[in-house]
Chain A
Amino acid sequence: MELLLDILFNGVAIGSVLLVAALGLAIVFGLMGVINLAHGELMMVGAYTTYVTQLVFKLPLLKPYYNSYLIISIFLAFIVSGVVGIILEKTIIRKLYGSPLETLLATWGVSLILQQFVRSVPLAYGAGLIISLVLALFIPTLFPLKIKDSINVKYYNLSAWIISAFSGVLTASWISSSISRLSRPDSRNVDVTAPAWMRGQIEILGTNFPKTRLIIILITLISVIAITLFLNQSAWGLRIRAVTQNRQMSDCLGISTEKVDILTFGIGSGLAGVAGVAVSLLGSVGPNVGGNYIVGCFMVVVLGGVGNLLGTIIASFGIGIMTDLIGAGRLLTIWPQMPLPLATTIDFFATTSMARVMIFTLIVIFLQFKPTGLFPQKGRMVEN
């Protein structure tokens, strides 16, 4: 019983990391048909955001609120990764709708640039740049309609840009002067430490569970619920679904498909940022942190059936539980008297990387029987 609970918990913990990481990917891939290989790097951006937030909250000014930095960094990571995603959409992805293979290659290029960016640019400057970009995107939305229609709009835009740039430079110089660690480029891995209340273990049903794992599960749960509610209950969610179903018709009905594209991609990217917060709690953060997850995320999406949130959830937990079962050699514990050849085989796969080999192989075998995943899209339009 205890063992079963253990497997279930570990599986769910592994699965929830996968799920929160795959969630944004599932949205971007499922709703927009974009293969975003930079998704892992958007996670990395989220993880670094957590790291910077943590350091900022160690400053005397914010020290009293240090315990709550993680909650704030979830929102910040969502915004930062979301804004990076929006810029990506506005500059590159937009030109490539309808050709997923091209998005795959272009976003790979973006991922290389983002990786090298955090290696060779001081994080303080990065933070400043992000502040400028957020403001530059945000301020023009505050203009009243009257200004937007007038001919003077370019002056307003210009002033908005100047304010944004100025705030960015200010932030960058403030951070780099007050936190010397962030003023130099640093390609080594960094560590995010959870605040004291999140460290240690908690006892449930006689078993000890690490608190960080529970928090990750919680983050995942909230993200899934929020995104489900947003897509199914809100007006913008309806618009997003409408554009997914029939872009031209939605356009004719007065839905701004451009805004919907930005929003969808922004949310998908923002979720990657949230996943980055979760990932930063598990180990050290480095430029390659996202790359470790990306293939697993795509496996989740393909296994679950593209464009199906429920499938994504089941697939991530399925993969999570299987990883624990195989990777930790659990079957041997469950059934100690198993015949020797079988035991050797299981032993052979009882490491994290070999478990991956086994699981990917199982997925490929599974796709032999259900090529479109657990929950395929149906109907006559599928072929096209």
Chain B
Amino acid sequence: MSLNRLNLNKITTLSIWIILIAVIIAAPTILPVFRLNLLGRYLSLAIVALGVDLIWGFTGLLSLGQGIFFALGGYCAAMYLQITSSSEFPNNIPEFFALYGVNNLPFFWEPFKSPLFTLIAIWLVPALIAGMLGFLVFRNRIKGVYFSILTQAALLVFFNLFNGQQKLINGTNGLKTDVTQLFGQMVGSESIQRLFFWITAILVIAAWFFSKWVVKGRFGNILIGIRDDEPRVRFTGYNPVIFKTIIFSIAGGLAGISGALYTVQSGIVSPQFMTVPFSIEMVIWVAVGGRGTLLGAILGAVFINYAKSLVSEALPASWMFIQGGLFILVVTALPEGVLGWMKGDGPRNLLQRFGFKRKIETYPSLEVNNKEEN
């Protein structure tokens, strides 16, 4: 029986993957550019969702501040694009500086002239900051809801910090990327956007493999152990602080990559990436998809955001109701998420409710005995 179940799960997972990859391959030819761009954005959000699944689904840390790292990645990418496209502006610095009478590039912009540095910074800066923040919090055994509240407070701190700094990073207006140049073309142009779609698709799959590699084996088991019974892990000789810091840092890095991809596809990064609702939404993508399943995080991010854009186009007012209902529903009725429900007893129970009888599970030995009697 359990073997049967296992196969069923494998078939489900495999077919979802086949559909996902088929959609990714078919999308550029089927979808108009506008929709393709949307799909690309939502796929990039799947990467931050993978990070949320790692820290929440596996390790039990509910962060409401992933927007910080998401935005940091976005800012890193946008700073590079702005600075390399600023040759025709006064002082050879991005245009917005002139508005505030700034003539010299702030020092922290300098390294972003290098593409290599930028590619590293996109994930390393958020990862380092996540690691630092995480270490300070975990060291004091702040966990559970206190951790969630503190991450939310941190989010607000970063939001206000970025929102107020016109002279350094254009404050509340954010940094535009769609009018900047890359490889001699506008970033907002169709060919570059198509390129970014492919990069995003590949990175989503790479991020999935990476996350899978992190959680499989003993390292992942320790994460699950920390989620289920942290003191026990400690008494077994492991230091949960280090494990939590590492995984939080990894999630931060993933958020950074995600934010950079999202920025270049949406054309702007702004402190709006660090608002409270957006970071909580990330959690619901994972919750709906199924926490602790990784694949569920990807599906949740893509489907919910796609649904959001479709519903918002048709009935703008109703999305908030639907989203609110989704939060309540997934917590009270579907705690395992859709994928968890499918992998568990969900479909069987549903069939049973419609009158399909369920095979009664027996011990293998009993079945053997039955045959002997016959």
**Which A residues fall within an 8 A CB radius of B?**
35, 92, 95-96, 100-102, 104-106, 108-113, 115-116, 119-120, 291, 295, 298-299, 302, 351, 353-354, 356-357, 360-361, 363-364, 367-368, 371, 383
Contact = CB atoms under 8 A, between A and B. Distances in A.
Contact of B144 (A100, A111, A353, A354): A100
B332 A96 contact: yes
Given A105-B287, A356-B157, A357-B160, A371 B141 contact: yes
A370 to B, nearest CB: 9
Interface stretch (B67-75, B147-155, B249-257, B354-362): B147-155
Contacts, number: 109
B284 interface: yes
A196 to B, nearest CB: 37
A40 to B, nearest CB: 10
A107 to B, nearest CB: 8
A106 B331 contact: yes
Given A95-B332, A100-B145, A106-B331, A116 B153 contact: no
A123 to B, nearest CB: 16
A92 B331 CA distance: 9
Contact of A113 (B150, B152, B325): B325
Given A100-B144, A105-B287, A109-B326, A295 B164 contact: no
B153 A105 contact: no
Given A110-B328, A116-B324, A302-B150, A383 B231 contact: yes
Interface string B179-220: 000000000000000000000000000000000000000000
Contacts of A108: 280, 327
A35 B326 contact: no
A364 B150 contact: yes
Contact of B142 (A104, A120, A298, A371): A371
Contacts of B331: 96, 102, 105-106, 109
Contact of B327 (A100, A106, A356): A106
Given A101-B148, A298-B149, A371-B142, 6 more contacts: A95-B332, A104-B148, A109-B331, A295-B276, A298-B152, A363-B153
Contacts of A92: 328, 332
B146 interface: yes
A301 B321 CA distance: 29
A110 B139 CA distance: 33
Contacts of A120: 317
B166 to A, nearest CB: 12
A295 B328 contact: no
A100 B161 CA distance: 30
A182 B216 CA distance: 58
Interface in B80-124: none
A356 B328 CA distance: 31
Most buried by B among A100, A108, A119, A368: A108
A361 B157 contact: yes
A368 B156 CA distance: 19
A113 B326 CA distance: 10
Most buried by A among B62, B139, B153, B156: B153
B140 interface: yes
Nearest to A119: B317
Contacts of B280: 105, 108
Contacts of A364: 136-137, 150, 153-154
B54 interface: no
A57 B277 CA distance: 36
B140 A116 contact: no
9 contacts: A104-B148, A105-B327, A113-B325, A115-B320, A116-B324, A298-B152, A357-B161, A361-B157, A368-B136
